[in-house]
Amino acid sequence: MPEVDLGFPRAWVEFANPDDATERFRCDLTWLTSRWTCIFGQGCPGIYESTPDVGCCSHGAHFADDEDYETVAGFVERLTPEQWERHDEGRATGWTERDEEGDLKTLAVDGACVFHNSKDFAGGYGCALHGLALAEGIEPLEAKPQVCWQLPLRRGYREVDPGDGEEYTEVTIGEYTRAGWGPGGHDFDWYCTSNTEAHVGREPVYRSNRAELTALMGEAGYALLAQHCEAFERGGLPQPHPASVGT
């Protein structure tokens, strides 16, 4: 089936952040109970036809802040030539660059992030930082730039005044659609979240991405989210993600 139109109805749930009285979560139940899963190395054609083996790691990753960079830099120091295909190059000339706006990001080389290992690399195909984390028995999110481990989850913030002047911060947890990438997202030759090819997971997103959601919401916030998702599933998924229908 072709990529589904993202104009379909979605079901949302809102609840207070149990760890912060100034915040409320607003979560996309339709997305979080979908059967999306990353199919990198298992049929993913990549976002560009010109680089089918790179997945979505074509442009390099921007850092959320200085702490994000420092975290990644610490793991980069632990990478060996056996784990990182561009180890010697990265050590000699650096593994970061500035974009047109001057923001720091990982270096892009020949249409791929500098940490992308090719299919023929003996040390393993895919992200060198991801492979390092697995080898050390930790969650990949601990070693990778935040944007890498969050995708295709999307966390957003906005200030809300319910009418009484008592503002709170709304924290949205949802799907990182093409639009999330800005105008360039519509230029991708393929994108996973709304494509049926990627909705083949054995578990719904809220379970398969538990570690990432916990990092985004906290343990208590995730526990409440899981309860709401389970109740939504028991209710018959009145707004199932179209790309997951039939899986």
Domain-located, residue 206: yes
CA-wise closest residue to 71 among 18, 21, 132: 132
Residue 233: per-residue pLDDT: 94
Give the strand pairing for 112-113 and 116-117. Answer: unpaired
Q: Of 133, 149, 165, which one is at a domain's C-terminal end?
A: 149
Measure the N-to-C terminal CA separation of the chain; round to a whole number of Å. 12
pLDDT tens-digit map of 65-122:
999 999 999 999 999 999 999 999 999 999 999 999 999 999 999 999 999 999 999 9
For 76, the domain range is 66-149
89 burial level (CB within 10 Å; 0-12, 13-18, 19+): middle
Is 52 inside any structural domain? no
Task: Among 103, 134, 149, give the residue marking a domain's end.
Answer: 149
Whether residue 138 lies inside any domain: the answer is yes
In a domain, 49, yes or no: no
Q: Is residue 28 part of a domain?
A: yes
Distance CA 2, CA 12 (A): 25
Q: How many CB atoms within 10 Å of residue 43?
A: 9
Q: Once rounded to an integer, what is the mean pLDDT over residues 11-15?
A: 97
- In the numeric block, which tokens belong to residue 136? 């050390």
Calpha distance 29→88 (Å, rounded): 45
Residue 5 maps to a domain:
no
How far apart (Å, rounded) are the C-alpha atoms in residues 87 and 82? 8
Tokens, residue 100? 């047109």
Residue where a domain terminates, one of 149, 177, 203: 149
Task: With a cut of 80, say whether residue 34 has pLDDT above it.
Answer: yes
Q: Work out the pLDDT band at 40, boundaries 50, 70, 90.
A: very high
Residues 6 or more apart from 80 whose CB is under 8 A from it? 87
Q: Taking residues 52-60, what's their average pLDDT?
A: 95
Are 114 and 60 in contact by the 8 Å Cβ rule? The answer is yes
Q: Which residues pair with 16 in a beta bridge?
A: 24
Model confidence band, residue 247 (pLDDT cutoffs 50, 70, 90): low
Mean pLDDT for 230-240 is: 86
**Residue 219 · residue 225 · CB < 8 Å:** no
Same domain as 174, residue 134: no
> Is 238 contained in some domain?
yes
- For residues 160 and 237, membership in a common domain is answered with yes
Q: What is the per-residue pLDDT for 1?
A: 58
Residues 122 and 161 in one domain: no
- Structural domain total, the chain: 2
Q: Is residue 58 part of a domain?
A: no
Same domain, 209 and 181: yes
Question: Which phi-psi region, left, alpha or beta, contains residue 111 (left: φ > 0; alpha: ψ -120 to 50)?
Answer: left
Q: Are 136 and 74 in contact (CB under 8 A)?
A: no
pTM (whole model) above 0.85: yes
Q: Are residues 95 and 72 in the same domain?
A: yes
Q: What is the pLDDT of residues 121-174, one digit of tens each?
A: 999 999 999 999 999 999 999 999 999 999 999 999 999 999 998 899 999 999
Residue 238 has pLDDT above 70, yes or no: yes
